Amino acid sequence: MKRLMSYLLLLLLLSGCAKETTAVPNKTEVKERIHIGFSMDTLEEERWLRDRDLFKESAERLGAKVTIMAASGDDALQIVQAEQLIQLGVDVLVVVPHNAEATAAIVAKAHDAGIKVMSYDRLIKNADLDLYVSFDNEKVGEMQAEAITKLVPKGKYVYIGGAETDNNAHLFKKGVFNVLQPLIEKGDITVVYDQWTKNWLPSNAFENMRSAIEANNREIDAVIAANDATAGSATKVLAAYGLLGEIPVAGQDAELAAVRRIVEGTQTMTVYKPINILAEAAAELAVKMARDEDVGADRKVNNGKIQVPSVLLSPIAVDQENVVETVIADGFHDYDDVFGD
């Protein structure tokens, strides 16, 4: 009887072990964690810090690992960093290009390694790019010009663009002049100053604005700036010449400092591009790209070489009237940060 009981006990133990063994997945069934490389132009502006953090958080929620490198506006360094990400064996490479042309080399190197490339917010030119995810940047410029021309239908305009090497800067400007050109042809508006801002540096934008003021004997009626950092430099110059608050100024990016200027009345408007939506969409699409899934791109954008599959999101114009319902309601900025001392 004791032998029988021992035998039954042994069978039960063996049965339990078998169950535990079958619960362990086979190595071939374990999916490797998706690894996304994020090559960024810069982290020197508020918005790009937001993009970095939001993209990383969104991708990690989806189970992906993210390695981020920022080149501080150095073309050669961005290419070297992209090569490092490729060598790390990332599954997909997401790039915010500093130079739209130079970063075509990154796409070629990634493809040689069998890695797909997404262009984030800014378009990489003349490359066999796999996907472009951004906002409708031409619409951004149109929103800026529409807001300012309502206030100043006639007069002398200053346009301070972004970096000439950034394709987005060209799209912003194209949108602005889509609106201005008919008024220019009518003779209602004269663009008395039009200059790019090298490397998007606020110090260069400051010099541009100072030159515009001096060249026109302080007689200007409106300023359209390619982003909020550029607009911020413009307002500093206007303040120095005693013109702050008298001349409408448009920007874009909805940076906190710009939104505060709007509330104070020293900047007229900005264009809000909900970065959380952009970052979340890009992270989701990057994971789909890594899995060879359909990304559902419903637009095409010509980058000089191919019609790039694209996902373009809608921007939002922000002024004193809708600050609370837009950037604050979305949690992009805190009410106290905007309206506090």
290-310 pLDDT per residue, tens: 999 999 998 999 999 999 999
Structure confidence at residue 1 as a pLDDT band (50, 70, 90): very low
Indicate the helix (H) or strand (E) that contains 319. Answer: none
Question: Looking at this protein, which amino acid is placed at residue 71?
Answer: A
pLDDT in tens, 109-133: 999 999 999 999 999 999 999 999 9
CB-based burial, 101-119: b 16+ in 10 Å, e otherwise = ebbbbbbebbbeeebbbbb
Q: If pLDDT is split at 50, 70 and 90, which confidence band does 8 have? A: very low
Instruction: Provide the residue type at 42 as one letter.
Output: T
State the pLDDT at residue 4: 38
**3 state SS of 166:** coil
Q: Are 59 and 283 in contact (CB under 8 A)?
A: yes
For range 200-214, the mean pLDDT: 97
In the chain, the percentage of residues whose pLDDT exceeds 90 is 88
Question: Hey, which residues does 299 pair with through a beta bridge?
Answer: 310
User: In order of start, what are the domains of the chain with their CATH numbers?
Assistant: 35-129+274-313 (3.40.50.2300), 137-273+318-339 (3.40.50.2300)
pLDDT, tens digit, 9 for 90 and up, residues 79-92: 999 999 999 999 99
On the question of pLDDT at 28 being above 90, the answer is no
pTM comes to 0.79
Cα(3)–Cα(299) distance, rounded to whole angstroms? 76
- Least Cα distance to 288 among 84, 184, 122, 133 occurs for 133
Q: Specify the long-range contacts of residues 291-294, CB closer than 8 Å, at least 24 apart.
A: 291/34
Judge residue 247's burial from the number of C-beta atoms within 10 Å of its C-beta, 0-12 exposed, 13-18 middle, 19 or more buried: buried
The pLDDT score that the predictor gives to residue 10 is 36
- Average pLDDT of every residue of the chain: 91
* pLDDT: which is higher, 27 or 239: 239
